[in-house]
Amino acid sequence: MSERPELALRAKELDAADELAPLRGRFVLDDVVYLDGNSLGALPVNVADQVADVIRRQWGEQRIRSWEENGWWTAPERIGDRIAPLVGAAPGQIVVGDSTSVNVFKALVAAVRMAGDGRDELLVDATTFPTDGYIAESAARLTGRTLRPVTPADVPAALSERTAAVLLNHVDYRSGRLHDLPGLTAAVHARGALAVWDLCHSAGALPVGLDEHGVDLAVGCTYKYLNGGPGSPAYLYVRRDLQDRFDSPLPGWTSHAEPFAMSPAYAAAPGAVRGRVGTPDILSMLALEAALEAWDGVSVEAVRAKSLALTDFFLECVGAYTEPGRVECVTPAAHAERGSQIALRCPDAGEVMKRLIERGVVGDFRHPDVLRFGFTPLYVGFADTERAARVLGELLSR
């Protein structure tokens, strides 16, 4: 379909009024419309130089002295405190390191141990990202619990005095549905169980409120909306009043109260440090620390407002540029139920996404028939949004 001048004009006006628009300059971008930041965030401009300094000076010249002189040893907690405001947590409750999967395992097993022997059931989001389900099944076997998959909407009815812990995704990775973290956490607590949340598709895109809503444990990756780079380390949140009861199933030497004493007996360090395991992955960790500078002076609430405006505008443009019935939106229309992505069902979605990428609009495809578009408000604008919908319409009209 041809360009709709009124939509292009509105996009221009919205970009001109956007208080976050200057943040685009903090990222390495080109003419491509990049709507895959919910898989891998764009590179912040300052990261390359800072990583080069870590390699050439800190590692190359100062070598082992950098563990102390450049703060390598304390990086997991220091960077955790940089992430904390983005997920609504006070300092001292987040430690960075390992992958999301490893942190899910730590959190689930620790939650079951805190729940006690009388609770023999573990609930897991039936719509979860596959790895979370795999880890939950293994954690259940390891701890002798029964695993029961349930949809988030069915969690309140499924809870009982048998429930030890519940693992839930804040945002569904396929559809972009935002689940009710405050309400579900309260329901879990009302039955005496612990709530573990996966924040991979919400942290950096919308307010989370971990402390405000009393979340027990949470995990998340840093390479999506936090732009930490491919394979950047994940993080683990342990609510402050639970930290002295957090019994990690992976008690590594760096979480020891006296790590350099090399004692044969394990004694857990106080605080969130006990979520650490082995030697920190310094290169990727310090790349993440540099990437988080892109958030300096940025309000998560402003990011959320722009995210909703972008996704609303995208849906309007898709409606204008595509034939009725050609695509179906599977992302909820209600703002309270929408993350920062739009998922469109399309019979030939795989081929359509290939052609979109060839035309300079990058989203991704999820089997069997979903086109997924992630909107990162720090660098995606309204003109990008209009262009993406217009190109989609042109491809679907052929």
Indicate if 223 belongs to the active site: yes
User: Cα(172)–Cα(201) distance, rounded to whole angstroms?
Assistant: 7
User: Cα(30)–Cα(4) distance, rounded to whole angstroms?
Assistant: 24
Indicate if 224 belongs to the active site: yes
- Judge if the upstream peptide bond of residue 368 is cis by omega within 30 degrees of 0: yes
Q: E-assigned strands of 92-133?
A: 94-96, 121-125
User: Cα(75)–Cα(313) distance, rounded to whole angstroms?
Assistant: 40
Note the Cα 150 to chain centre separation in Å. 21
* Residue/partner pairs of 260-266 with CB below 8 Å, 24 or more apart: none
User: Which residues lie below 8 Å from residue 65, measured CB to CB, with a gap of 6+?
Assistant: none
Indicate if 372 belongs to the active site: yes
User: Cα(103)–Cα(217) distance, rounded to whole angstroms?
Assistant: 10
Sheet holding 94-96: strands in order across?
A: 94-96, 235-238, 217-220, 194-198, 163-169, 121-125, 146-150
122 strand-pairing partners: 147, 165
Indicate if 313 belongs to the active site: no
Which position among 113, 372, 387, 390 bears the catalytic label?
Answer: 372
Which position among 224, 274, 338, 387 bears the catalytic label?
Answer: 224
Note the Cα 381 to chain centre separation in Å. 21
Which position among 105, 223, 235, 379 bears the catalytic label?
Answer: 223
Indicate if 354 belongs to the active site: no
Instruction: Give residue for tokens 């995208």.
Output: 314
- Strand, coil or helix: what is 195? strand
User: Cα(111)–Cα(212) distance, rounded to whole angstroms?
Assistant: 19
Which position among 18, 198, 364, 384 bears the catalytic label?
Answer: 198
C-beta separation of 327 from 314 below 8 A: no
Which position among 129, 237, 373, 382 bears the catalytic label?
Answer: 129
∠37-42-43 over CA atoms, to 5°? Answer: 155
Note the Cα 110 to chain centre separation in Å. 21
Q: Which residues are catalytic?
A: 129, 198, 223-224, 372
